[in-house]
Chain A
Amino acid sequence: MSLLRIARPTIARRSLLTSSIRYKHTLPDLPYDYAALEPAISGKIMELHHSKHHQTYVSSLNDAEEKYASAVSANDVQGQISLQPLLKFHGGGHINHTLFWQNLAPKGSGGGEPPSGGLAGAINNTYGSVEDLKKKMNASLAGIQGSGWSWLVKDKDTGALQVITMPNQDPVVGKYVPLLGIDAWEHAYYLQYQNRKAEYFSAIWDVINWKAAEARYKAAA
């Protein structure tokens, strides 16, 4: 599945200390410079967000997977279950940020250019217009109580588009395919916008990479 490949950019077999195959996740390179999303998102925010926050999720995910593999080897089901929140949090953090970087682009490299093709049609059918979808998504972002994300998703069962919010680093899984994610954690905007998060939600549409969302929409068909 393509999402898995995205979330695991390099797959290297580690030493065969245990019988299970383990993966070593690495921080993906950004497809643009840290400052390239200014003025919507400052270079300082992007640098910390990518090189510190995302890196911590990657390192902690590797750590949790290693512990999980040991618990599997030891036939320790309790240990496996107690590691689930760590796997979910750091695995989700790695997945979400990897998707996020890709669904952003500098202005001039496609950032903010409206969607086209099948996705544009589906948005118009569901929400009336891209502008209406933005309003809907901004309202969902503003309504998040705590840390989390808003996603435009496709429901695999019905094919319908939907806007959903996920708490903390819970990734989009199950019947929903993530098309476009916006990070509503305070670390995503605080250095530039402080408590004025509505301004961040409004500005980020200038650097949304609809091409990435379209590709995900097509792949989910």
Chain B
Amino acid sequence: MAQAKFTLPALPYAYDALEPYISGQIMQIHHSKHHQTYVNNLNAATANHVKALQENDVRAQINLQQAIKFNGGGHINHSLFWANLAPANTSQAKPESAPKLMEAITAKYGSYGGFKNEFKGVLLGLQGSGWGWLVKNKKTEQLDIVITKDQDPVVGDLAPIFGVDMWEHAYYLQYFNDKASYVNGIWNIINWDTAEGRFLGRSGALKL
């Protein structure tokens, strides 16, 4: 079978374009080092899995599952994350770019402000490394806020609308232990155009 070779996606903006909310140094290390490592390790795990498959070695395939989940999740999550951020001075970063989604948010959470508070509360309650997501349940169409631990991706019935990386490497060089300020700042750089597309199913499946 053909073996997929994953590559690091280029950022759709410059490393320092999200300042002052996320520093250029954080973005550069986060993208070029952390994300790259997930891509490399995913390629290695995938290659080993193909080999195990060809050798009919089921034990080896199962033994590789965690490496594929962790590094595959890391690749998926970061790819979604970069695309759901935008420089603060762009029209994409304005909630007005997501009229349908904002309607659903207001219906569910009362107001945009109410939603932000709820989202922040869920994210700050995360114990350890992980991600906060606004998701849509594909069956019920309901919005929800969920956290996934470590690099577990959003799968199953839930479709990710946007994610916020709560690993310490996502904010520590700038915010240290003050992760609340990082979350407060992120609202200035959410790409609502991307979020609207994912909400409406316009963007299709994530291409890796």
- Please say whether chains A and B are actual partners in one complex: yes
Given contacts A146-B150, A168-B128, contact A52 B29 (CB under 8 A): no
From A49, which residue of chain B is reached at the shortest CB distance? Answer: B177
Report the Cα distance A194→B66, complex, angstroms: 24
| B11 contacts A by Cβ under 8 Å | no
Total contacting residues, chain B, CB less than 8 A: 20
Q: Is the CB of B128 within 8 A of A191?
A: no
Q: Is the CB of B128 within 8 A of A186?
A: no
B42 CB, min distance to chain A CBs, angstroms: 13
Chain A 17-66 residues near chain B, CB threshold 8 A: 48, 52-53, 56
Complex contacts, A56 vs chain B, CB 8 Å:
177
Complex contacts, A169 vs chain B, CB 8 Å:
127-128
Choose from A48, A145, A168 the contact partner of B151 (Cβ within 8 Å): A145
Q: Is the CB of B66 within 8 A of A190?
A: no
Which residue among A52, A89, A169, A186 has the maximum number of chain B CB atoms within 10 Å of its CB? Answer: A186
Report the Cα distance A194→B149, complex, angstroms: 21
Total contacting residues, chain A, CB less than 8 A: 20
Q: Is the CB of B129 within 8 A of A195?
A: no
| B70 contacts A by Cβ under 8 Å | yes
Complex contacts, A147 vs chain B, CB 8 Å:
128-129, 168
Q: Is the CB of A53 within 8 A of B128?
A: no
Complex contacts, A187 vs chain B, CB 8 Å:
168, 172, 177
Q: Is the CB of B173 within 8 A of A145?
A: no
| A167 contacts B by Cβ under 8 Å | yes
Given contacts A48-B176, A146-B149, A195-B33, contact A186 B168 (CB under 8 A): yes
Report the Cα distance A146→B168, complex, angstroms: 10
B123 CB, min distance to chain A CBs, angstroms: 15
Q: Is the CB of B167 within 8 A of A89?
A: no
Complex contacts, B168 vs chain A, CB 8 Å:
147, 185-187, 190
What sequence of 0s and 1s flags, for each residue 123-160 of chain B, a beta carbon within 8 Å of any chain A beta carbon?
00001111000000000000000000111000000000
From B66, which residue of chain A is reached at the shortest CB distance? Answer: A145
B106 CB, min distance to chain A CBs, angstroms: 30
Complex contacts, B176 vs chain A, CB 8 Å:
48, 52, 191
Complex contacts, A53 vs chain B, CB 8 Å:
177
Which B residues are within 8 Å of any A CB, using their own CB? Answer: 29, 33-34, 37, 66, 70, 127-130, 149-151, 167-169, 172-173, 176-177
Interchain residue pairs with CB less than 8 A apart (11): A146-B128, A168-B127, A168-B128, A169-B127, A185-B168, A186-B169, A187-B172, A190-B173, A191-B173, A194-B29, A195-B37
9 smallest CB-CB distances across A and B, nearest first, come from A146-B150, A168-B128, A186-B168, A146-B129, A147-B128, A195-B33, A52-B177, A89-B127, A147-B129
